[in-house]
Structure formats: structure tokens, C-alpha cells
Amino acid sequence: MNHVIMKSKIFKFFIYTLCFFSFFLVIPKCEKALPVVDSSDTILTSKLSDYYNFLVTMKSKGFVFWDFKTFLGTDTSKLPQKLIVIRHDIHGLDIQWAYPTFKIEQTLIGNGHSTFFVMLNNPIELMNKNFIYESDYLKLILYLEKYHFDIQPHISPIDMYIENKHPKWEIYSKDTLEKMFTGNYQWEISKTGRQIKITGADVFNLNEINNTLLTLLPAYNAQWTTQTGLNVQGYSAHGTSTVMNAVLNNAYLLDQFVLLDAGVYEYDAYNSKIFNILTYLSDNNMPSWMTKPDSIMPGRYQLLMHPHVWYLVNKSK
Ligand SMILES: [Zn+2]
């Protein structure tokens, strides 16, 4: 009898011991299944610590963060008092830093609170045999798509036009182009867009430029959709170094009623209708607020955040 009791006790001890150790065996498996930031992510995100601090500070000050899709879908009278619409323009050098940017946002403000404007199919980059990032643009888009981020194209209409039509002025200097513009055209700018007034001769054949863009932009959008599976809602205009961009700027072209009213795109991030509501915070010249976000006053903003620029600021310290 004692022998049987003894055996039963040993059996119970065995079962309890098994349960005890199985607890430690199972838990790590559960932990591994959680979407944790791995060590390489931690290293990358630490190199964007200024952006991390920027979001932490602005969040603590009561700001909310939106993508352009949400902003444009909301009645202006219902916009939050403290709002940051986040715009990422993604060039080749930004791609590597777009992933930790995504990770930081995912951690601090959640998925889908910024718009990534990706420079897929830029005509100058496509012509450059040394340009190595084309497939990486697409990989990034497909990655962000899984997390329901707003993803739109970063485009250069003036380069699209020049590449397609090769106008005689494509080789002219900036001075010559500026003189041609000043003597013959004037912008008429309103709160919701602009139009060009021909005050002399239409030396650039502006109607032809706009009509060509009304063919090229839908073709661009169709290719974007074929490659990404996403529809185009709007663009952010690229500040290309093409000389004509200093005169007939991409942002000005896309702000024209003649293009906006054609139904090819809903907006460009530089549009008058956006600039009149959101104050522009651009990282282009590495301003001091990048590292001192406390200096930003309450208000409604468009933040242009290039992941590579924030990496450079961090590195320079
Ligand atoms: Zn750009």
C-alpha cells in the first residue's frame, strides 16, 4: 500500500515538475510570436532619435498626427487645433531610413498616420543606368502597404514633359528662361489654386505643356496602379534640379486649376488649398526645431520629413 502511495506521490511530483518547466518553455515561444522590434531595428531607430524625440515631444504637447488622406477627407471646420500632417518624400537615399521611420511611427503614433510619397518611375532616374534604387522603391511601397499606410507618388511633371517632348528651351540657362517668363507671363494666385496669365507671347507654349501633362499624368497613375495595386489620390512635387523647375516650378504647375479640375489627381502637397490651411514645416534646410521641437507653437502643420535628412542631423551631432 505504502509503495502504491509512494509511486502516486512520485507521479504527482513528476507532473507538477513538468508543468512548472513547461511554463518556462512555452512563454518564450509566446514572446517570440509578438511583433517586437529586433536588435537591428533598435540600432536603426536609434540613428533617427531626433525624429523619435520630435514625435514624443509633439505628442506630449497634445498634437495629433494625420496622413493626407485623412486630412483631405475632413471638413476644414472640424480639423484638430493641434495637427501635424506628416509627409515623407522618399528618394533613393531615403529608402533605407524609411523603414526605421515607419517603425518609430508605428511605436509612438500607430500605423497609418503619415503619407509616404515615393519617387517611383522618375524619368531622370530611369534614364540613369547607375541609379540602383528603382526596385527598392517598389519593395518599400509593398512593405508599407501591408500596414495600411497612405502611399502616393513623388513626381516631377516638368521632367516628365521634357523627357517626352524635348522642347527647344530644355538647354537654355536659368537667366534666359527667367527673362522669357518675366516678359510674357504672370501668375494669378488665389486661395485654392492658380492660373497663368499670358501678358506677352506664349513662348513656352503653356497650353501644350498642360495638355501633355493631362496625358502623361494619367499614364503615370495607371502604371503606378499596375505596379503597386494602389490608386493615386495625390502627389508631392519633387524639387528637381532641372533648370526650368526654377521658373515653371513643379509645385506651380500642379497648383493650376486647369490641371486640378481635370480629375487626374486630387491634390499636390504644395497646393495653395493646402498651404492656406497648414503651416509648412520643412526639414530641407535642417532647421533648429528638428532638435528643439519645444519651440514649435500650437497650430496646424504640414511636416515634410525626409528620413535621410533626419539621419544626417543625428549623425552630425
Ligand atoms: Zn523630392
Q: Write the pLDDT tens digit of every residue in 195-246.
A: 999 999 999 999 999 999 999 999 999 999 999 999 999 999 999 999 999 9
Please check whether residues 13 and 51 belong to one and the same domain. Answer: no
Ligand 1 center to 154 CA (angstroms): 7
Please check whether residues 43 and 115 belong to one and the same domain. Answer: yes
300: left (phi over 0), alpha (psi -120 to 50) or beta: beta
The pLDDT confidence band at residue 142, using thresholds 50, 70 and 90, is very high
Please check whether residues 214 and 250 belong to one and the same domain. Answer: yes
Range of the domain at 9: 1-34
Ligand 1 center to 158 CA (angstroms): 13
Structural domain tally of the chain? 2
pLDDT beyond 50 at 28: no
SS3 51: helix
Please check whether residues 138 and 246 belong to one and the same domain. Answer: yes
Indicate the range of 28-37, 114-123, 280-289 predicted with least confidence.
28-37
Ligand 1 center to 15 CA (angstroms): 64
Mean pLDDT of the chain: 89
Taking the C-alpha atoms of residue 144 and residue 142, their distance in angstroms, rounded to an integer, is: 6
Please check whether residues 146 and 217 belong to one and the same domain. Answer: yes
Please check whether residues 8 and 89 belong to one and the same domain. Answer: no
Please check whether residues 15 and 126 belong to one and the same domain. Answer: no
Please check whether residues 24 and 77 belong to one and the same domain. Answer: no
Ligand 1 center to 239 CA (angstroms): 5
Please check whether residues 27 and 131 belong to one and the same domain. Answer: no
Taking the C-alpha atoms of residue 87 and residue 273, their distance in angstroms, rounded to an integer, is: 16
CB atoms within 10 A of CB 195: 13
Please check whether residues 17 and 47 belong to one and the same domain. Answer: no
The pLDDT confidence band at residue 88, using thresholds 50, 70 and 90, is very high
| Partner residues linked to 235 by β-bridges | 268
Helix boundaries (H) for 229-266: 250-254, 257-260
Ligand 1 center to 82 CA (angstroms): 26
Please check whether residues 101 and 163 belong to one and the same domain. Answer: yes
| Predicted local distance difference test score (pLDDT) of residue 211 | 98
Ligand 1 center to 90 CA (angstroms): 7
Q: What is the CATH number of the domain that holds 135?
A: 3.20.20
Cβ contacts of 115 within 8 Å, gap of 6 or more? 67, 68, 69, 85, 86, 87, 88, 149, 150, 151, 152
Please check whether residues 128 and 17 belong to one and the same domain. Answer: no
